[in-house]
């Protein structure tokens, strides 16, 4: 893996004051703070050189975040520093005006900033224009004005633009350079820090160790010598579990086929997150070195919320995808059997409320496999009421639903699996029959993030093991020495008998391959896909949205991938369905994935050297949604 090596040109052409070195009559060396009164004496001064941040890469070493050289144009003040305020301002304003004309930029420096810099740090250059564009740099190099210099710094660079932006995050300037009198260990230019995503979580590891620049001045205040006493040590590299090409494919499919959505792909055999895409996204380069007010306002005011990572920071009602987990719970606890028949009428009454099926005709007597394939609501009302809420809640939690996965990103949604305590707190009552009916089809107060959904499908795919979801494989040095690793770890072992596992698996295969299934558009040539569609409404009554889902795993017999796709509909648009909108997202992604494999573009070996408040869904309208569309 290559790291961008930056050659820092320490273009400090004017003398820098240094700490005065004094020896008292006991021979003890003292280093009092420098003062402007001691500037006329010989001394040595030490400044810190910020280290380049380490890279963030995908699992194959492809860079997701790296560094580039950035150029600032700065003014220098003539020595000695004994001008009155009027002359200081006159000089500085002339330099600013020349720079504005040269770069065609509107450059402004306040009088207070100019005077403070001159009186406290005047021997250091004062930046006027930061992060010059290539054409600006060329203009400066052709005609460098007197008393101006170029200063090289580091700037964070995201070579793939908005790709995986919600996961990588971005950096920002840690703090402006001090305005107090210069002291030893001051930075020669501003350092950066992680502000979001992995950049923020692994900021300490990425930052590195600063270098040391020593400058000696003579009694006349002129620079005598300058040397780098200690080279900066680059930060560690963060190696993620992501597959860059699969992430690119997923984001492209979302962009072309949705206005809002998310798609997560995991390896069900070890918990590694291969893809976690949210759309729309943003370009983290817009935040480097600082984000402008106009750019931030554009992102913040966008009704599509591009700064929100829908894949892990948003949670949605799961709709009929949840029937998979209800069936698993019922079969494993033997509250229902695989051969047990329930009717699939057009509606079913619980107490004084009538719940509807999405089909307009009676489908007759069905067993579990048939009911899941056809996604019969009224069958699951009956099965759920017979089971009771306890096994549904227990198995949902064992599968990791309603709790954070623990990935190293802030503000992950926990989702919600309602129990009696929740119902008492929110609705002032315990779970009733109508709540169980709602729960049995993934409605009511259930909320699940796309990441949680993919994780739960991973457990079914591998036969009962909840692996710790992993987004980072390891932290390593520039020389590939591993300093921290995040190996596979089993969080839960979920009891799933081979017979129950096979029954659920075959039912999910029927969803995509059976003539009465709801997800034919998720088919992938030559690959048997096991999945389940879901369609649910959420939000306030006047702006309800539909969450369309398709989740599962493939190949069905020996799964390599577990997945969840979410299509977020527009407010008050009802012609959205899991089969018609979410399932095709998975089909398109994996058609490309398997086509790349067949073409010989197989994955490279890894670099390894070894909460939102739940909003109840509207029952009657949600249950009438046609998932076959």
pLDDT band at 18 (very low <50, low <70, confident <90, very high): very low
Query: Looking at residue 37, what is its pLDDT?
Result: 41
Using one digit for the tens of pLDDT, what is the confidence trace for 553-605? 999 999 999 999 999 999 989 899 999 999 999 999 999 999 988 776 544 43
pLDDT band at 9 (very low <50, low <70, confident <90, very high): very low
Q: Between 370 and 12, where is the model more confident?
A: 370
pLDDT over 90 at 23, yes or no? no
Query: Looking at residue 600, what is its pLDDT?
Result: 62
Query: Looking at residue 538, what is its pLDDT?
Result: 87
Query: Looking at residue 282, what is its pLDDT?
Result: 97
Query: Looking at residue 540, what is its pLDDT?
Result: 86
Query: Looking at residue 64, what is its pLDDT?
Result: 98
Q: Is 68 helix (H, G, I), strand (E, B) or coil?
A: strand
Torsion of CA 63, 66, 69, 72, to 10 degrees: 140
Residues with Cβ within 8 Å of 346's Cβ and at least 6 positions away in sequence, in order, are 356, 357, 359, 360, 361, 362, 378
377 vs 454: CA distance, rounded Å = 23
DSSP H helices, 445-582, are 450-462, 498-513
**What is the gyration radius of the CA atoms in the chain, in angstroms?**
31
pLDDT band at 184 (very low <50, low <70, confident <90, very high): confident
CATH class of the structural domain 244-280+311-623: alpha beta
Query: Looking at residue 260, what is its pLDDT?
Result: 96
For residues 282-292, average pLDDT: 92
Alpha carbon 72 to its chain centroid, in Å, reads: 30
pLDDT band at 428 (very low <50, low <70, confident <90, very high): very high
pLDDT band at 221 (very low <50, low <70, confident <90, very high): low
CATH class of the structural domain 40-238: alpha beta
Q: Between 621 and 283, where is the model more confident?
A: 283
Question: Do 442 and 318 contact (CB within 8 A), yes or no?
Answer: yes
Highest mean pLDDT among 28-32, 404-408, 613-617: 404-408
Using one digit for the tens of pLDDT, what is the confidence trace for 232-256? 999 999 999 999 999 999 999 999 9
Q: Where are the domains of the chain?
A: 40-238, 244-280+311-623
Q: Between 76 and 25, where is the model more confident?
A: 76
Q: Is 26 helix (H, G, I), strand (E, B) or coil?
A: coil
Residues with Cβ within 8 Å of 428's Cβ and at least 6 positions away in sequence, in order, are none
Using one digit for the tens of pLDDT, what is the confidence trace for 339-397? 999 999 999 999 888 998 888 899 899 999 999 999 999 999 999 999 999 999 999 99
Query: Looking at residue 601, what is its pLDDT?
Result: 54
Residue carrying the six token digits 């070579």: 159
Helix axes 322-332 and 450-462, enclosed angle (nearest 10): 40
Two tokens, residue 489: 């770890």
pLDDT band at 225 (very low <50, low <70, confident <90, very high): confident
DSSP-derived letter for residue 386 is H
Residues with Cβ within 8 Å of 83's Cβ and at least 6 positions away in sequence, in order, are 91, 118
Query: Looking at residue 42, what is its pLDDT?
Result: 60
Two tokens, residue 153: 């710094």
Question: How many helices and strands, by DSSP H and E, does the chain display?
Answer: 19, 26
Strands (E), 158-309: 171-173, 186-187, 192-194, 211-217, 223-230, 237-240, 261-266, 273-279
Two tokens, residue 230: 């200690």
Q: Which of 84-98, 155-169, 211-225, 276-290 has the lowest mean pLDDT?
A: 211-225
Please state, in angstroms and as integers, the Cα–Cα distance from residue 168 to each residue in 165, 397, 428, following that order.
5, 29, 42
Using one digit for the tens of pLDDT, what is the confidence trace for 108-159? 999 999 999 999 888 788 999 988 999 999 999 998 989 999 998 889 999 9
DSSP-derived letter for residue 209 is B
For residues 461-475, average pLDDT: 98
Residue carrying the six token digits 């069900």: 268
Residue carrying the six token digits 């995503």: 197
Using one digit for the tens of pLDDT, what is the confidence trace for 28-67? 334 444 443 444 456 787 989 999 999 999 999 999 999 9
């Amino acid at each position: 893996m290559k790291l961008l090596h930056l050659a820092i040109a320490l273009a400090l052409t004017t003398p820098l004051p240094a700490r005065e070195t004094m020896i008292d009559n006991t021979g003890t060396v003292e280093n009092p703070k420098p003062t402007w009164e001691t500037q006329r004496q010989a001394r040595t001064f030490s400044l810190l050189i910020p280290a380049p941040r380490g890279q963030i890469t995908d699992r194959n070493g492809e860079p997701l975040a790296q560094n580039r050289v950035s150029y600032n144009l700065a003014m220098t003040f003539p020595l000695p520093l004994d001008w009155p305020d009027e002359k200081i301002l006159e000089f500085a304003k002339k330099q600013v005006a020349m720079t504005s004309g040269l770069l065609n930029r509107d450059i402004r420096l306040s009088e207070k900033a100019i005077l403070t810099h001159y009186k406290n740090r005047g021997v250091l250059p004062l930046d006027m224009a930061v992060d010059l564009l290539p054409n600006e740099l060329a203009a400066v190099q052709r005609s460098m004005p007197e008393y101006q210099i170029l200063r090289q710094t580091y700037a964070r660079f995201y070579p793939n633009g908005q790709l995986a932006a919600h996961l990588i995050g971005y950096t920002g300037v840690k703090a402006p350079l001090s305005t107090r009198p210069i002291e030893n260990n001051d930075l020669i230019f501003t350092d950066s820090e992680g502000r979001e995503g992995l950049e923020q979580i692994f900021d300490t590891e990425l930052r590195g160790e600063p270098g040391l620049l020593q400058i000696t001045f003579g009694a006349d205040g002129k620079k005598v010598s300058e040397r780098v006493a200690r080279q900066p040590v680059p930060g560690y590299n963060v190696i993620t579990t992501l597959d860059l090409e699969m992430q690119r494919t997923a984001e492209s499919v979302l962009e072309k086929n949705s206005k809002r959505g998310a798609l997560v792909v995991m390896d069900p055999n070890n918990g590694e997150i291969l893809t976690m895409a949210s759309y729309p996204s943003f370009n983290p380069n817009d935040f480097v070195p600082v984000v402008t007010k106009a750019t931030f306002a554009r992102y913040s005011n966008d009704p599509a919320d591009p700064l929100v990572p829908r894949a892990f920071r948003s949670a949605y009602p799961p709709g009929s995808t949840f029937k998979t987990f209800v069936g698993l719970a019922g079969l494993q606890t033997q509250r229902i059997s695989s051969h047990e028949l329930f009717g699939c009428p057009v509606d079913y009454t619980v107490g004084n409320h009538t719940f509807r099926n999405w089909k307009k005709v009676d489908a007759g007597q069905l067993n579990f496999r048939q009911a899941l394939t056809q996604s019969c609501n009224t069958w699951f009302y009956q099965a759920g009421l017979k089971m009771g809420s306890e096994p549904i809640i227990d198995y949902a939690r064992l599968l990791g639903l309603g709790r954070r996965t623990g990935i190293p990103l802030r503000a992950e949604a926990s989702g919600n699996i309602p129990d009696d305590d929740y119902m008492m707190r929110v609705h002032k009552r315990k779970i009733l029959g109508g709540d169980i009916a709602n729960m049995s089809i993934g409605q009511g107060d259930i909320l699940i993030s796309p990441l949680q959904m993919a994780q739960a499908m991973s457990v079914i795919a591998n036969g009962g093991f909840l692996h710790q979801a992993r987004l980072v494989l390891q932290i390593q040095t520039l020389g590939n020495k591993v300093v921290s690793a995040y190996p596979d770890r089993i969080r839960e072992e979920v009891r799933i008998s081979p017979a129950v596992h096979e029954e659920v698996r075959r039912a999910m295969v029927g969803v995509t391959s059976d003539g009465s299934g709801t997800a034919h558009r998720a088919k992938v040539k030559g690959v048997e896909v096991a999945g389940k569609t879901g369609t649910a409404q959420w939000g306030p009554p006047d702006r309800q949205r539909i969450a369309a889902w398709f989740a599962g795993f493939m190949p069905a017999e020996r799964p390599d991938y577990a997945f969840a796709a979410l299509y977020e509909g527009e407010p008050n648009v009802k012609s959205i369905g899991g089969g018609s909108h979410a399932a095709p997202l998975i089909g398109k992604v994996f058609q490309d994935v398997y086509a790349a494999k067949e073409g010989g573009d197989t994955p490279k070996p890894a670099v390894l050297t070894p909460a939102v408040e739940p909003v109840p869904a509207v029952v009657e309208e949600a249950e009438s949604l046609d998932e076959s569309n």
